[in-house]
Chains A and B, each alone.
Chain A
Amino acid sequence: DAKTTQPTSMDCAEGRAANLPCNHSTISGNEYVYWYRQIHSQGPQYIIHGLKNNETNEMASLIITEDRKSSTLILPHATLRDTAVYYCIVGRTQGGSEKLVFGKGTKLTVNP
C-alpha cells in the first residue's frame, strides 16, 4: 500500500477553516484516499474518502489533486471539538476486507 506524509501538527483558530494536507505520491490507480480522526483515548472516526473526484459530506471536504499525488482535508468551520489527530490513509477496497494501515497523522489543535 502507498505511504502517506502529513505534517506532525497544525493549529487553527476556532471558526476558521482547517486545511490539512497529505502527500501520497506513490498512490496507485485503484487506491482510495481515506481520512479518519482520533480524539484522545477514543476509537478513530471515519471522516471522508475519495478516489479522484473531490468529495464533500456533513463533516468535511476532500480535495484531491488531478495527479492524485496529494490531497487536502478541509474542515470549513473548525470548533474546539475538532481538536484531534487526523489520519490520511491510502488503501484499496477489497470487497469488505479493507485493511488500512495508519501512519502518524497530524495533531490538529483548534484554539479559542
Chain B
Amino acid sequence: GAVVSQHPSWVICKSGTSVKIECRSLDFQATTMFWYRQFPKQSLMLMATSNEGSKATYEQGVEKDKFLINHASLTLSTLTVTSAHPEDSSFYICSASLFGGKLFFGSGTQLSVL
C-alpha cells in the first residue's frame, strides 16, 4: 500500500524555539495532505488541510501564524510549530489521500516542549 513517511518521530525542544515536522508521500503524489494533533487519550483533531502550491486551510481555532504549513511539492508538506510552548506538546500526525477517501497516515511526531 501507499506509504507516508513522517519525520522526526519525536522531538524535545526548549520553550520559544521553532520545530519543523516533515511529511512525505513516498510512492505517490498527494495534492492534498492533512495535519492532525492528538492529546493523550483523546481523538485526532484536524488542524489544517495542506494544498500543494497554495495556502493551507486552517480549522477554526487553529492559529495559522503559530502553525506554519508549507506544501511546496506533490510529495512533501511541512508543519512548523513556531515559538513553541509547553501547551503545544502533543502528538502531531499527517496524512495524504491517494484516491477516494482512503487516507494514509504518517507514524506521527511526539513533540515535547520544555
Whether A49 pairs with B101 at a CB distance below 8 angstroms is yes
Interface residues on B, range: 20 to 34
Q: How far is the CA of A46 from the CA of B110 in the complex (A)?
A: 21
Contact A44:B49 (CB < 8 A) given known A49-B100, A96-B31, A100-B101: no
Comparing A11-19, A64-72, A76-84, A102-110, the segment that makes contact with chain B is A102-110
Chain A residue numbers with a CB within 8 Å of B95 are: 43-44
Main secondary structure of the interface of A (DSSP, over half): loop
Whether A96 pairs with B32 at a CB distance below 8 angstroms is yes
Q: How far is the CA of A57 from the CA of B45 in the complex (A)?
A: 28
B interface vs A, CB < 8 Å? 4, 6, 31-32, 34, 36, 42-46, 49, 51, 91, 93, 95, 97, 99-108, 110
Partner of A93 from B4, B46, B101, B110 at Cβ < 8 Å = B101
Q: How far is the CA of A101 from the CA of B47 in the complex (A)?
A: 10
Q: In angstroms, how far is the closest chain B Cβ from the Cβ of A51?
A: 10
- 28 CB contacts below 8 A, A to B, read A34-B101, A36-B103, A41-B91, A41-B108, A42-B108, A43-B4, A43-B107, A44-B93, A45-B105, A46-B104, A49-B102, A87-B43, A93-B100, A93-B101, A96-B97, A97-B32, A97-B51, A98-B100, A98-B101, A98-B103, A99-B34, A99-B46, A100-B46, A100-B101, A100-B103, A101-B46, A102-B36, A105-B43
